[in-house]
Amino acid sequence: SNISEQCLDKHLAGVVAHKTALIWEGEPCEGQQPLERKTFTYSQLHAEVCAFAEGLKNLGIGKGDRVALYMPMIPEAVIAMLACARIGATHTVVFGGFSAESLRDRILDAQASCVITANGGFRRGKILSLKSAVDKAVAECPCVKSVVVVDRLGETKNSSYRISDSSFSATKMMSGRDHWSTDIQVENSQLPATSLPAEHPLFILYTSGTTGKPKGVVHGTAGYALWTNLTCQWVFDIKQTDVYWCTADIGWVTGHSYVVYGPLSTGATIYIYEGAPDFPDFGRFWRCIERENISIFYTAPTAIRAFMRQGDQWPRKSNLTSLRLLGSVGEPINPEAWEWYHATIGNGKCPIVDTWWQTETGGIMMSPLPGVTPLKPGSATRPLPGISVDVVDDDGTPVAPGNRGKLVITKPWPSQLRTVHGDPERYAKTYWSTFAGPQGAHKDPWYFTGDGAFKDADNDIWVIGRVDDVINVAGHRIGTMEVESALVDHASVAESAVVGVPDAVKGTSIYAFVTLKNEVKQSPDWSEDKKHTLARDLITHVGGIIGSFAKPDHIRFTDSLPKTRSGKIMRRLLKDVATGHESLGDTTTLEDVSVLASLRQSSDDE
């Protein structure tokens, strides 16, 4: 089987071949009018994918090779993913907001032989210089033999983009390594899809772990293709007549499953938008919906809360009556945001599918079914048909309704992750060792999600967030270790600890406690101004190492951190300090109680 056939070739025999597969809108605009729009029929998208795939093949890339993508949200990002799938190359998409260092780490872990990127992309009116980040990353990646560059900025005569922007310098291309995508594409290619085994690795996607080193989650082909297709039909009630918009970037699993593979396999029309939701103003998304008659809209609670803060005036300026179904993804949605989304965006008429799933699950695991399940603001309600989940205590015993426990999946499912790339031990330990079995009458191990949850009196499930050292910021999973390592990488920092605290828009924001090296604190010119400047520097430093989405919102300098007698940082107490709660619970293992008292007396430094 080959997923590119499921998304493209199977539609070519009938009328779907000539219907629109993809509509794209670029960010640049004049006033409120977008300057760029592209559309592709299924037949045209098939031709583009074949041309790109044969070009990759001519570079020596084939079945089993790994290809890294570092792209803006442009049609070529979708085309490149499908082209990799067509030739059996395993893609690893790295979100364009990640730093060059993060990109390097992922390329090296995957041992990618090719990187596909663009000379730039647009975000809030500025050009993101993706190619220079690739150059910096690839300089330390001997495994990379070729870099394919899409000309998003209209530098070359063959570019299909024409944006006159003189603010960027000409893209540096390394002879023999770098190729413009238009130079490798094979026109009129009819390249057949490579026949692949059902378990062939379709992609590796890196997700934050508790150890600081991102995990390369590996997904297969057939089970993943089946589940993304089925869930699109069940959860979104998707029809070939729908114009469907999932706002996720392709760098995240939602972009893989519910921008590209799932919806295209159903023959619907997908819409993608390159830029920021608030550029040039907070009406951008609503104008997109009106302009393109979007019928299904799938976005994150963070975005919904940001829109809610701006008030109803923006959505009211647009006609949103084309919408028939709304979705939420990435983190639990609070009931207030749910109600606003339902009333203001859905006009009180559109069902909301509040979906729970993970990078590791490959597709939606729990969600109300539109027209079937009674909607309950804030609850993902029930598992989908064929999915077995439970909420259990540490011994694997199901907890009573209303009691908090750990969310587990008790039976296999088609789109589950197959392994962690290059690290089967980590795969076994992270996901299967917590409930290794037997649990009561259950002999097999259970998959531990890392999330806490409870069931209500109706047996509906409410997910309450991570129980491990992973912080969910605006739907991005960020390991506390990653941020702590980035802070300690700064020359002034001796030690750090980060926790997640509630945030009205992002859901959770990052709060960092930082201990400075003695020479910094004891320096004669150390002052309050220096302190504030250093705090700002540290925030920028983290952004440079990981990506801007991982920047702490708060920095607090402290002489020491609360630790157990064995030297473990007590993050639970730090969370209490950060949120202003009086610490309840056990502090008997605390090595030095005075540390807690001095922390309470200090305040944020940035």
State the angle between helix axes of 593-601 and 571-579 in degrees (0 to 180), rounded to the nearest 10: 20
pLDDT tens per residue, range 398-449: 999 988 899 999 999 999 999 999 999 999 999 999 998 776 667 789 999 9
Q: How confident is the model at residue 590 (pLDDT cuts 50, 70, 90)?
A: low
pLDDT tens per residue, range 483-508: 888 898 898 998 889 999 999 889 89
- Do 330 and 338 meet the contact criterion of CB atoms below 8 Å apart? no
Q: What are the chain's domains?
A: 3-276 (3.40.50.12780), 470-601 (3.30.300.30)
What is the pLDDT averaged over residues 388-402? 93
Say if residue 182's pLDDT is above 70: yes
State the angle between helix axes of 75-87 and 42-58 in degrees (0 to 180), rounded to the nearest 10: 60
Say if residue 103's pLDDT is above 90: yes
Q: How confident is the model at residue 592 (pLDDT cuts 50, 70, 90)?
A: confident
Predicted confidence at residue 597, as pLDDT, reads: 75
Q: Which of 141-145, 303-307, 381-385, 466-470 has the lowest mean pLDDT?
A: 466-470
pLDDT averaged over every residue in the chain: 92
Q: How confident is the model at residue 553 (pLDDT cuts 50, 70, 90)?
A: very high
Query: Which pair of tokens denotes residue 175?
Result: 């002879």
- Do 23 and 39 meet the contact criterion of CB atoms below 8 Å apart? yes
pLDDT tens per residue, range 112-161: 999 999 999 999 999 999 999 999 999 999 999 999 999 999 988 888 88
Predicted confidence at residue 427, as pLDDT, reads: 94
Say if residue 605's pLDDT is above 60: no
Say if residue 600's pLDDT is above 80: no
Q: What is the pTM of this model?
A: 0.87
Contacts 24+ apart (CB under 8 A), 463-470: 463/332, 463/356, 463/366, 463/380, 463/407, 464/332, 464/404, 465/331, 465/332, 465/508, 466/500, 467/406, 468/210, 469/210, 469/571, 470/208, 470/209, 470/210
What is the pLDDT averaged over residues 195-207? 97
State the angle between helix axes of 480-488 and 528-545 in degrees (0 to 180), rounded to the nearest 10: 120
Predicted confidence at residue 480, as pLDDT, reads: 83
pLDDT tens per residue, range 12-31: 999 999 999 999 999 999 99
Say if residue 163's pLDDT is above 90: no
Q: Which residues contact 250 (CB under 8 A, 6 or more apart)?
A: 69, 71, 73, 77, 78, 81, 93, 256, 259, 260
pLDDT tens per residue, range 306-351: 898 888 999 999 999 999 999 999 888 888 889 999 999 999 999 9
Q: How confident is the model at residue 171 (pLDDT cuts 50, 70, 90)?
A: very high
